[in-house]
């Protein structure tokens, strides 16, 4: 009888520990399971060059079709400007990203972190080229080689102090993934990204990708390699089940691919696409 009691007690402790462990790790469970609730669509190879997961660096420049089509001037959309300031009145960004950013800063406000400022957002190729000519290669990238040319990245500051010292910067490093953002150029990943540490530069990639990247401490470069290698993964996060699949075009002009009922598609800006389905 005593032995049975000890076994039951041990089982309860294991369950409790498992719950705490999963909660600490953002309640993410990753596996190779595939969805059975699929249909098929045909997509063209130019889809490689647009979407929220595009890799932009010195080897993979922005294709013009990859630039977000919903770019807005923030000062003209006050409904997206609650809880932060702008460095100037010419800052533009994807409206989708503006909505996510507003949700994020409102969440930070609940933690008494509320001195955010957007210093830079979307830049056209012409604006990027002008910045490059004025600042030089030590401070700016050539036109087409900056994430700011997409409309998915923000340079975020604090109105109180430098970002690497500000509560705003620390809060974002710890929490931005919950809203689909990543710190694009971390301090310990410069050899991978090719860019020096930028505590102000955040990139929108969307969920569940930001959650996986945070969980596994991956840069966008590493994450795209991870998905390409795995080919297909299943992710449980916050009560939702996601299926992520990678397809390599390998010179094909189109591909027939499986998708779930609700899905998003993004190219990697190299040779493949990532399909994210949700059930």
Active-site residue set: 198
- Whether residue 140 contacts residue 132, with contact meaning beta carbons closer than 8 Å, is answered with yes
Other CB atoms within a 10 A radius of the CB of residue 254 amount to 12
Q: What is the CA radius of gyration of the chain?
A: 21
């Amino acid at each position: 009888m005593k032995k049975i009691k000890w076994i039951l007690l041990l089982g309860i402790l294991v369950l409790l520990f498992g719950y705490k462990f999963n909660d600490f790790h953002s309640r993410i469970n990753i596996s190779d399971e595939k969805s059975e609730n699929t249909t098929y669509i045909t997509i063209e190879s130019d889809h490689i060059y647009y979407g929220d997961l595009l890799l932009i660096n010195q080897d993979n420049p922005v294709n013009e079709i990859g630039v977000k089509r919903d770019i807005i001037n923030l000062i003209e959309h006050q409904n997206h400007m609650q809880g932060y300031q702008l460095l100037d009145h010419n800052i533009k960004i994807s409206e989708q990203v503006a909505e996510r950013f507003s949700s994020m800063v409102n969440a930070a406000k609940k933690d008494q972190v509320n001195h955010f400022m957007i210093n830079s957002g979307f830049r056209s190729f012409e604006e990027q080229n002008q910045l490059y000519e004025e600042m030089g290669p030590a401070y700016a990238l050539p036109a087409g080689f900056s994430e700011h040319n997409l409309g998915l990245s923000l340079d975020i500051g604090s109105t109180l102090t430098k970002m690497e010292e500000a509560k705003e910067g620390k809060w974002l490093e710890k929490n931005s993934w919950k809203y689909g953002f990543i710190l694009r150029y971390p301090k310990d990943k410069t050899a991978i990204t090719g860019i020096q540490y930028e505590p102000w530069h955040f990139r929108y990639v969307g969920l569940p990708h930001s959650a996986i990247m945070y969980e596994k401490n991956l840069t966008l470069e590493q994450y795209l390699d991870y998905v390409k290698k795995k080919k297909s993964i299943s992710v449980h996060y916050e009560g939702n089940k996601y299926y992520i699949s990678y397809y390599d075009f390998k010179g094909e002009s189109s591909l027939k691919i499986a998708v779930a009922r609700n899905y998003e598609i993004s190219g990697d800006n190299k040779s493949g696409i990532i399909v994210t389905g949700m059930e």
